[in-house]
Structure 1
Amino acid sequence: MSAKRVCDTKIPDEETTDSGYLSGPLSSQLLSSDDLGVETEREDNESERRETGNPVDDSDKKVISESELDSGLDLSESLSHVKLDEDTETQHERPVIIEPKQGVQDIPLKILFQPDEDGDTQVHIAAVHGCEKSVGTLIRVCPDKRLLDIPNDYGHTPLHLAVMSGHHAVTRMLVLAGASLDVRDRVGETPIHKAVHHTKTGQHIKCLLALLAPAPELSRQQNSALNQKNYNGQMCVHLAASAGHLDTLRYLVNYGADINAREGLAGSTALHIAVRRGDKTMTKWLLERCSSLDSSTADYGGRTPRRLAKRTKLHALFGASEDSDDDSDEEDDMYDSDSDTDSLMDRIRQEIQSQNLVNVA
């Protein structure tokens, strides 16, 4: 191709001219006056040779390629990343940027289960506020169910906090997810202990039922937690009897709690505690409705509930005496009183004073 066809030296005389950025064929505006003179001279030489019949020498031609023309704008760096699509149908379509979907699985799990300055994980926080959706999500992404039993600085697991806050739905979710019922806090209490402490309100009774309701592979764990002692030696039945929560005591017995168990301090059973408190309703229910009750169980001092009730209004609930020793041994009855004025230390002091061994005044 000759330079003549590449560059058209004729400039149309129009009112509207190009702004300088030419998108069509290159015009003479890109050529200097010297280049125009050389081009005119070459055209004259070519026409003269054609008239004389001499062959045209291509070596004299100077072809100006597009690569030799410089527009003055260097866009090589800014356009280096641009790639043209070979598909002519879609090359004019606007590109769509699809952002990657970020879910819980993209968040590092160590952040979700990492304790804060109080020892609380995200499961603790969601459980204490009753956030069922958050707790459900954390349960699903939990790589190890033992992470659900991480205690905070007070020894409370998420299950402890859910029970103490009265969130029975979250409590049940954690139980079904495999959260342990045996974990004890700083005072030795399990989540069942916490539920018994607050069962005067309806929400905490629901939490107790959420802990004790039958669940797959949980029956053995529930039975062991029911009869577990806190650091004061008290089981759940002792706490319920001490607080006078008869409904709670019924639920505990129905789900397998040992009603004849003795607490660790004085060896008292639930019946001992009810008699000492003078709780007629609970004492009557235990004697009449609790078939597994053994009313002859003695505490560490050898006292039975009947002996404790002998000088109270509850004595009639025990019926006729079947143990002759209870009526004949009046000396042992001296030690049945738990009042401050008739305490064991006062009796010992009186005996010492009467024998004139020492002066304790």
Structure 2
Amino acid sequence: MSAKKVFDTKVLDDENSDSGFLSGPISEQLSEDFDSREHTEPTEPTNKSDKNTISENTDLDSGLDLCLSECLSNVNLGDTPTAQAPIIVIEPERTQDIPPLAILFQQDDDGDTQLHIAAVHGCEKSVGTLIRVCPETAWLDVPNNYGHTPLHLAVLSGHAVVTRMLVRAGASLGIRDRTGGTPLHIAVERNNLECLQALLARVPEHPPRKLATVLDQKNYRGQACVHVAAISGHLETLQMLLYYGADINVTENLAGRTALHMAAQRGDVRLVKHLLERCRGVTRDALDYAGRTPRKLAKRSGAARMLANLLGDDDDDSDTDDDIYDSDGEVESLFEKLRLTQNPINVA
């Protein structure tokens, strides 16, 4: 049988395999062409079976792999492949590392979240939606770069409804801002009775809270809420603080004064009269760090005579060096210097 007939039995002359390579005759022609380059006289295969095999000693520089050519020359197109095709696993696209809820509570350059922005503008619907989707209560108390939580901003803006919504959702009342003020300090300083009521009113969904600790919490000036109310002369605000359990005899940390000391020093007859006549347990003869009673401080005020009648007799009526020396002014000026350094000191 001739060589041409052998190839005709496997592959037709005008057909190509669909594997991308020409099978049969081309492999034989390539081996004969490369053999002719190395030897002056072409050599023919000794038997018919060698026509389908390429010599192992043949070196090719055409880029074709001899082992691959040998394997392809022995492939019968009619046979079914026995080797299993490689399995290609396509990994699904990775989801974003940040969940959608976390995006809503991401902080911007000022440290504000969407809840901060909604609270300061009084957007009740937006605040309600953010509270419903909030996965953890701690996310309600995220402070911005000024130490303000959404509850701080709601009180600063005077939005009592938003303030109440945040309190019912579990926002903390005792977180301090950069000046040491809590939301209660801000409400007292601004004399906002509605926001103060929204902060202190009992939440039916929560167990009863002990408000004495947060009411007597002090800012970086060492002042509790009753001191802030007494300094500003906010009588109604002071009444509300006492109703919810604030300590009227608590001393501030800079000079050791009580609310009665501060009211007497300001010459606030109305506030002093209310403290002495309406508030139980007020210490009339409390001493500050300089050993001064409220009556001694009242001597410098414009209503000294009226206050003296309200406060009663003092055992020591003489003006001493302690009375002449005004330590409060120096203490306040020292605090202002410390505050300007923007490194607040916790004196509470």
TM-score by length of 1: 0.59
Inter-CA distance 218–167: structure 2 relative to 1 (3 Å threshold): farther
Q: Equivalent residues in 2 for 1:69-218 (5 A)?
A: 108-199=100-191, 204-216=192-204, 217=206
Cα deviation, 1:234-274, whole Å, max 9, x if unaligned, reads 11111111111111111111111111000000000000000
Inter-CA distance 182–120: structure 2 relative to 1 (3 Å threshold): same
Amino-acid identity (%): 61
Which whole-Å CA distance do the structure 2 matches of 1:146 and 1:156 have between them? 14
Which portions of structure 1, spanning 4 or more consecutive aligned residues, are displaced by more than 3 angstroms? 216-221, 337-340
Q: Equivalent residues in 2 for 1:162-311 (5 A)?
A: 162-199=154-191, 204-216=192-204, 217=206, 219-220=208-209, 222-310=211-299
Check the 8 A contact 1:188/1:230 in 2, yes or no.
yes
Deviation at 1:310, TM superposition (A): 4.6
- Residue 297 of structure 1 aligns to a residue whose secondary structure is coil
| Residue identity opposite 1:336 in structure 2 | D
Check the 8 A contact 1:112/1:121 in 2, yes or no.
yes
Check the 8 A contact 1:155/1:185 in 2, yes or no.
yes
- Residue 211 of structure 2 aligns to a residue whose secondary structure is helix
Check the 8 A contact 2:156/2:187 in 1, yes or no.
yes
Gaps of 5+ in 2: 1-98, 331-348
Q: Which residue of 1 aligns with 2:73?
A: none
Q: Which has more radius of gyration?
A: 1
Q: 1:317 aligns with which of 306, 310, 325?
A: 310
Check the 8 A contact 1:113/1:122 in 2, yes or no.
yes
Deviation at 1:185, TM superposition (A): 0.3
- Residue 116 of structure 1 aligns to a residue whose secondary structure is coil
- Residue 323 of structure 2 aligns to a residue whose secondary structure is coil
Which whole-Å CA distance do the structure 2 matches of 1:150 and 1:163 have between them? 16
TM-score by length of 2: 0.62
Inter-CA distance 119–177: structure 2 relative to 1 (3 Å threshold): same
What RMSD, in angstroms, separates the aligned Cα atoms of the two structures?
2.1
Which whole-Å CA distance do the structure 2 matches of 1:218 and 1:115 have between them? 31
How many matched pairs?
226
- Residue 335 of structure 1 aligns to a residue whose secondary structure is helix
Which whole-Å CA distance do the structure 1 matches of 2:201 and 2:171 have between them? 14
Gaps of 5+ in 1: 1-106, 344-361
Which whole-Å CA distance do the structure 2 matches of 1:290 and 1:183 have between them? 29
Check the 8 A contact 1:181/1:222 in 2, yes or no.
no
Which whole-Å CA distance do the structure 2 matches of 1:287 and 1:220 have between them? 29
| Residue identity opposite 1:318 in structure 2 | L
Q: Which residue of 1 aligns with 2:322?
A: 335
Inter-CA distance 283–157: structure 2 relative to 1 (3 Å threshold): same
